[in-house]
Amino acid sequence: MHVHLVAAMEFEKVLLKEMERAGVELVVLLTMDLNPSVLRKEEVRSKLIQRYKKTRAYEVDPTRWNEEEFMRYLENFFHSFRPPPTHQYLASFVESFPKLAVGIGSVNPLKPTEYVEEKLREIAKLGLKGVKVLPTLQLFDPATNQNFELICEFCERNKLLLICHTGCDPGPFELPELSQDANPERLVPVLERYSVNIVLAHLGSYSVHNPRIWLTEALEILKRFENAYADTSAVNYALFYREDVVERIRRLGLFEKLLFGSDFPYIRKSNIAYEVRGVRESRYLTEEEKEAVLRGNALKLLRKIGAV
């Protein structure tokens, strides 16, 4: 449910080989609409600087970066990303492998409303099956951003999937203070108004230094909202290798809402086969739970939105 399409030579062959090696029959391919120019917005700049000054890193060494140096560090971080594939590239890839891949576009809610509306029309025209947003790297707050509401309404009306990053993110966004917009609880105000089928990417648990950082908040959303699901990309080890976590999910009756993901190819020292093996070899999951997470739940959801 969570593979990033990379616009690079040979990626097609790499992905198909990895799918075969892992025994994966279908992947949901994502792109990301990133634009570091939003860092120049005064409201964005001010918010990030204020949050940075609340971090433990700043408390320990407030002279490490002044405001200009901190913003320059963020800009360099964003510019280090390989340009994500366009919607046209993604649609073409999916068209080449219609039985192997489902395409999910991306729209940056912090861009002007006209831009957001144009990108949503593009997604619909190209036959993509959903929208991916990242409160971290797109620097928006789901609880207050009006363009995010437009995206929710669009996905609900067109029966598309909404995938929202939850948890921390690499680089500077490993600091929880900078990633707090990706706390799943920021989605509650919107989910109270819209019934869009939403997937909480990483189950609120993505963090190298604080695994399962917002797991409680994510589980509360899955329990409260019938239309909410979560993928396990980049956090399979943090969930299924812990007996207490597995028992908690089981007790809440939420295994039917978990969807296997790998985050391939972005996780170092990992691949799809490795992540599949991590689920299959868990000592704490039943065979029925493994089947549901690895296959059954995702197929039910994708059929629900007409993607398969």
Q: What domains are defined for the chain? A: 3-34+85-303 (3.20.20.140), 37-80 (no CATH)
Contact 128, 154 (CB under 8 A): no
What is the pLDDT, as a whole number, of residue 210? 94
Element (H, E) at 213: none
What is the pLDDT, as a whole number, of residue 308? 93
List, for residues 16-74, the tens digit of each pLDDT value: 999 999 999 999 999 999 988 889 899 999 999 999 998 877 776 777 788 889 999 99
Element (H, E) at 283: none
Query: What single-letter DSSP state applies at residue 264?
Result: B
Contact 262, 23 (CB under 8 A): no
Q: Give pLDDT < 50 ranges for the chain.
A: none
What is the pLDDT, as a whole number, of residue 268? 87
Pinpoint the alpha helices (H) of 23-98: 42-52, 56-60, 67-79, 87-96
What is the pLDDT, as a whole number, of residue 250? 98
Nearest in space to 197 (alpha carbons), one of 223, 162, 230: 162
Contact 2, 263 (CB under 8 A): yes
